[in-house]
């Protein structure tokens, strides 16, 4: 697994590269946002926000514009607004400094398992729920005949809900199956992604079941 570490502080990037290499990863370091955007494709990106040339959120958006590579943001800033914005831009996870190395490796391996599972089980090729059309092979989403751009995690969440439309999915189940069974972060991450899907699709498509979770509702197809 090839990891791109985007970090401008060598006192952090050097031991991080050494430790991840010992864990069996192939590691490349980029010390600027420009270098990160110009780097060879990686299997996962560890992105620090405090870069000297570009804001981390700009780099995140730039990476996501041409790649679906998993992005784990690493930052000393833990404010809720930063987490919300970065998740909306397409980051998959958020680790606040100082962090434990074993915790970080666990997050990376969890992403690797999800990638492996996705690649090995392309069973369903298409999901159609009313005006919602999901092409699972191409990871493409249309709603009312219009293409909808989703982040990788928004797509995963939508597919999970649409795979059993009408069924109530509990919050713990959604975090376990869409994120990871060892997810350590706030469950507000789930709410952020649901809110973003409602904005991009239609608010009433995903219904809140109080004190339980969410379900995807089959809406009527719009008249031509």
Averaged pLDDT, 200-204:
95
In the three-class reduction of DSSP (H, G, I as helix; E, B as strand; rest coil), residue 220 is classed as coil
Using the predicted structure, report yes or no on whether residue 123 has a pLDDT greater than 60.
no
Fold of 126-216: Arc Repressor Mutant, subunit A (1.10.10)
| CA angle (64 as vertex; 148, 215 as ends), nearest 5 | 45
Q: Is the pTM of this model over 0.85?
A: no
Between helix 80-89 and helix 56-66 the angle, nearest 10°, is 20
| Residue-level pLDDT at 119 | 53
Structure tokens at 114: 């999800």
Domain spans of the chain, in order of start: 2-120, 126-216
| Residue-level pLDDT at 120 | 47
Kind of pairing, strands 71-75 and 44-48?
Answer: parallel
Specify the CATH architecture of the domain 2-120: 3-Layer(aba) Sandwich (3.40)
Residue range 86-99, pLDDT digits in tens? 666 778 777 777 78
Averaged pLDDT, 119-145:
83
In the three-class reduction of DSSP (H, G, I as helix; E, B as strand; rest coil), residue 163 is classed as coil
d(C-alpha 140, C-alpha 107), whole Å = 26
In the three-class reduction of DSSP (H, G, I as helix; E, B as strand; rest coil), residue 214 is classed as strand
CB atoms within 10 A of CB 10: 11
| CA angle (90 as vertex; 89, 94 as ends), nearest 5 | 100
């Amino acid at each position: 697994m090839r990891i791109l570490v985007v970090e401008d502080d060598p006192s952090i990037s050097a031991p991080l590269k050494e430790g991840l290499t010992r864990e069996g990863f192939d590691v490349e370091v980029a010390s600027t946002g420009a270098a990160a955007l110009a780097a060879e494709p990686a299997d996962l990106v560890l992105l620090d926000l405090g870069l000297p040339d570009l804001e981390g959120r700009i780099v995140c958006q730039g990476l996501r514009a041409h790649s679906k590579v998993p992005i784990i943001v690493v930052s000393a800033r833990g404010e809720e607004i930063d987490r919300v914005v970065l998740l909306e831009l397409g980051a998959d996870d958020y680790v606040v400094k100082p962090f434990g190395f074993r915790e970080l490796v666990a997050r990376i391996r969890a992403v690797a398992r999800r990638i492996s599972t996705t690649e090995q089980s392309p069973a369903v090729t298409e999901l159609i729920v009313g005006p919602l059309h999901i092409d699972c092979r191409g990871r493409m989403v249309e709603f009312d005949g219009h293409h909808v751009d989703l982040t990788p995690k928004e797509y995963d969440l939508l597919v999970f809900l649409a795979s059993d439309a009408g069924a109530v999915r509990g919050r713990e189940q959604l975090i376990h199956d869409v994120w990871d069974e060892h997810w350590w972060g706030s469950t507000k991450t789930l709410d952020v992604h649901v809110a973003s899907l409602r904005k991009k699709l239609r608010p009433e498509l995903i219904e809140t079941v109080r004190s339980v979770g969410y379900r995807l509702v089959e809406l009527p197809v719009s008249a031509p």
